[in-house]
């Protein structure tokens, strides 16, 4: 899968998704966490989009750390900032940005 950033550089994107479409896909993935693979998810979304546009949204959500794809190819929502903030307030847990 070509990354969103490579597609921008090469100019291969025919259509960029609108914000309401991105939000619709995000909400649908949150509600159906881990139930669908990519094509089935695209077919099940309430608002129909071009597959290339949908793929661009999925690529964006993966690169922004909001979703992940498991070994079976199912897409799940992983972005829970409120939960992370609560966990980081516990004394025995901490965040390290060292690599």
Task: Return the CATH class of domain 4-88.
Answer: mainly alpha
- Residue 20: its H or E element: helix 19-31
- Dump pLDDT digits (tens) for 35-51: 999 999 999 999 999 99
Q: Is residue 96 predicted with pLDDT exceeding 90?
A: no
Regarding pTM above 0.75, the answer is no
pLDDT at 94: 65
pLDDT at 63: 94
Q: Is residue 1 predicted with pLDDT exceeding 60?
A: no
CA 15 – CA 88 distance, rounded (Å) = 39
Backbone angles phi, psi at 14, to 5 degrees: -85, -40
């Amino acid at each position: 899968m070509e990354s969103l950033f490579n597609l921008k550089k090469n100019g291969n994107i025919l259509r960029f998704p609108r914000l309401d479409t991105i939000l619709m896909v995000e909400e649908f993935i949150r509600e159906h966490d881990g139930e669908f693979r990519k094509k089935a998810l695209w077919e099940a979304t309430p608002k129909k989009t071009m597959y290339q546009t949908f793929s661009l949204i999925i690529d964006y959500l993966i690169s922004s750390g909001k979703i992940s794809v498991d070994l079976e190819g199912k897409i799940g929502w992983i972005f829970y900032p409120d939960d992370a903030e609560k966990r980081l307030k516990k004394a025995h847990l901490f965040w390290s940005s060292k690599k």
